[in-house]
Amino acid sequence: MDWTEVKITVDAENVDAAGDIAQMTVPYGIYIEDYSHLDEEVEEIAHIDLIDEELKKKDRSKAVVHVYISPEDSPAEAVAFLTERYAAAGIPSAIETAPCVQEDWINNWKKYFHPIPVGKKLLIRPDWEQTENPEGRTVLDLEPGIAFGTGTHETTRLCMEFLEEYVKPGSTLLDVGCGSGILSVAGLLLGAESAVGVDIDPLAVKTAGQNAERNHVEDRFTGICGSLTEQVEGTFDVVAANIVADVVIELTKDIGKYLAPGAVYLMSGIIDEREQDVLDALKGKFDVISRREEKGWVALAAKPCISPEA
């Protein structure tokens, strides 16, 4: 049976919120066409020269969120949910559906994913493209499959920039909500001794393992299928959680027991409107030592308080 593609067209200014709502309908990745910042992004990576001329002609005022519904699930229910949630959020939207062969949609978004420089050290390169690397960056070859995480989203980039700063040679890394494994693999390429990636979606765990193998770090990566830290053992020098504010808040309740002395806790996927909620959850347990923000998304780095409140 065919899958169903759900296309949600919204004003570009609403795309982040629209994407967050769309992500609630499926356990795997979505993809977003958003050309509103294309000019500045082209300028940032012009030396790589990988932007298709066709993309430059796209409508900058609109964005399209693509969601794919498996044959086992109900497209009608998904559309009804999305319609209701967008109306409640005050987001004008136009929703279309069409049948889609699974192989087609897995490959469909690839034309929008090109090599991306991240921070000062990394270059995220899709497995189906090769490119020159004149800056001598550490290359992370990626095949996301249908697991979330390509490096194109602000939340992932912000977290990877933190990894550049806080992963030291010999560090141990815990990646909660690992998706495609991009953060785990990046940490290992940056010098971590080992990384554990956890995701509730078994397909994501499989994809993460394949990406570790693709980058020749599979011997230092362990994938766990489970919810948050329920199957995690031991302590880590760096814990990264690139998820959403509500899950970060839930994770923060007990994450301290998984932190080694001097460890850092990295949080991303936080929309700016929810930052204070996350800060409230950290209060008395963690001190924020660094903050990054891009296009309405916030990432935080924190360490346990010296004398945490009871």
CATH number at residue 201: 3.40.50.150
The two beta strands, 236-242 and 172-176, are parallel
Mean predicted lDDT score pLDDT of the chain = 83
pLDDT tens for 114-161 read 777 888 888 888 766 676 676 788 888 887 555 455 656 778 889 999
Write the pLDDT tens digit of every residue in 137-147.
888 888 755 54
Quick check: 266 pLDDT over 60?
yes
For residue 88, pLDDT beyond 90: no
Task: Assess contact for 51 and 114: CB atoms under 8 A.
Answer: yes
- Residue 206 belongs to some domain of the structure: yes
Confidence check: pLDDT of 55 > 70: no
CA 190 to chain centre: 18
pLDDT digits (tens, 9 = 90+) for 182-199: 999 999 999 999 999 999
Distance between CA atoms of 122 and 137, rounded to whole angstroms? 5
Q: Can you give the CATH number for the domain in which 104 is found?
A: 3.30.70.120
> Residue 2 is which amino acid?
D
Q: Are residues 164 and 278 in the same domain?
A: yes
Quick one: 40 and 162 in the same domain?
Answer: no
**Calpha distance 114→46 (Å, rounded):** 12
pLDDT over 70 (residue 179): yes
- In a shared domain, residues 91 and 210: no
Among residues 51, 80, 111, the one where a domain terminates is: 111
Asked whether residue 236 is domain-assigned, the answer is yes
Q: Which domain holds residue 66?
A: 3-111
The verdict on residue 270 lying in a domain is yes
Identify whether 126 is part of a domain.
no
Q: Is 127 a member of any domain?
A: no
3-state secondary structure the chain: CCEEEEEEEEEHHHHHHHHHHHHCCCCCCCEEEECCCHHHHHHHCCCCCCCCHHHHCCCCCEEEEEEEECCCCCHHHHHHHHHHHHHHHCCCEEEEEEEECHHHHHHHHHHHCCCEEECCCEEEEECCCCCCCCCCCEEEEECCCCCCCCCCCHHHHHHHHHHHHHCCCCCEEEEECCCCCHHHHHHHHCCCCEEEEEECCHHHHHHHHHHHHHCCCHHHEEEEECCCCCCCCCCEEEEEEECCHHHHHHHHCCHHHHEEEEEEEEEEEEEHHHHHHHHHHHCCCEEEEEEEEECCEEEEEEEECCCCCC
Q: Which of 102-106, 254-258, 277-281 has the lowest mean pLDDT?
A: 102-106
Can you give the pLDDT at residue 39?
46
Looking at the fold, whether 172 and 300 belong to one and the same domain comes out as: yes
Whether residue 100 sits in one domain with residue 190: no
pLDDT band with cut points at 50, 70 and 90 for residue 71: confident
**Alpha-carbon span 123 to 48, nearest angstrom:** 11
> Residue 113 — very low, low, confident or very high, per pLDDT cuts 50/70/90?
low
Output the pLDDT for position 56: 53
pLDDT number for residue 131 = 67
Lowest mean pLDDT across 17-26, 109-118, 288-297: 109-118
- Whether 109 and 124 have beta carbons less than 8 Å apart is answered as no
* Number of structural domains found in the chain: 2
Segment 164-186 mean pLDDT:
94
> What pLDDT, in 10s, does the model give residues 185-241?
999 999 999 999 999 888 789 889 999 999 999 999 999 999 889 999 999 999 999
Picking from 84, 111, 138, the residue at the C-terminal end of a domain is 111
**Residue 123 is assigned to a structural domain of this protein:** no
Residue 35 has pLDDT above 80, yes or no: no
- Residue found under tokens 């319609």: 83
- Going by pLDDT thresholds of 50, 70 and 90, the confidence category of residue 52 is very low
pLDDT exceeds 70 at position 48: no
